[in-house]
Structure 1
Amino acid sequence: MRDLPDDDSWLPQRRRAIGQRVRAERLRQNLTQDQVWQAARIDRRTLQYVEAGEEMKLGTLLRIAYVLEVPPSDLFG
């Protein structure tokens, strides 16, 4: 088991990677942001935050994964 670093400087990089995977999958399926946020029943801005790698909730990621029909683990990489 690894110990966490002394600070959270590694978190933004991980969030950006998740956001990039969400965006890539959405584009691969030729879906617009509007289609995804409406189907996932989340706010438009929430999806934009996720794709930008901002703070995101697990429930939001589960909704997005469900709509995109991918296992959540695919988004985490």
Structure 2
Amino acid sequence: MPHLPADDAWLLHERRAIGDRIRVRRLQDNRTQESVFLAAGVSRSAYQQIESGAADVRITTLLRIAHVLGVHVSDLLRG
């Protein structure tokens, strides 16, 4: 089985796209990062890394963020 580098270009692109969709939805709701990460039970630094696409996100965390933003998790995953 081939070994894949942790930060393939496509993977980074997809993480950034998810973060962008989270940011767009948050801004559409006129919410601050703080209001979202507190309601989702995520640390400030973790949330900032998720929005910037710098970190892998657990599905549980993504589900919590989607719930706080009032969207289905699939809306954050699909472009």
TM-score range, shorter chain: 0.7 to 0.9
Gapped regions of structure 1 (runs ≥ 5) = 1-5
Alignment of 1:1-77 (within 5 A): 8-54=8-54, 55-77=56-78
TM-score between both structures, scaled by the size of structure 2: 0.85
| Structure 1 Cα separation of the partners of residues 33 and 9 of structure 2 | 28
TM-score between both structures, scaled by the size of structure 1: 0.87
| Structure 2 Cα separation of the partners of residues 73 and 13 of structure 1 | 17
Which runs of at least 4 in structure 1 moved beyond 4 Å after TM superposition?
none
| Structure 2 Cα separation of the partners of residues 42 and 17 of structure 1 | 19
| Structure 2 Cα separation of the partners of residues 9 and 51 of structure 1 | 17
| Structure 2 Cα separation of the partners of residues 42 and 10 of structure 1 | 26
| Structure 2 Cα separation of the partners of residues 18 and 11 of structure 1 | 11
Number of corresponding residues: 72
Gapped regions of structure 2 (runs ≥ 5) = none
Q: Percent identity?
A: 47
Q: Which residue of 2 aligns with 1:3?
A: none
**Matched residue of 1:31: which SS?**
coil
Q: Is the 8 A contact 1:62 1:72 kept in 2?
A: yes
| Structure 1 Cα separation of the partners of residues 44 and 69 of structure 2 | 16
| Structure 2 Cα separation of the partners of residues 64 and 41 of structure 1 | 9
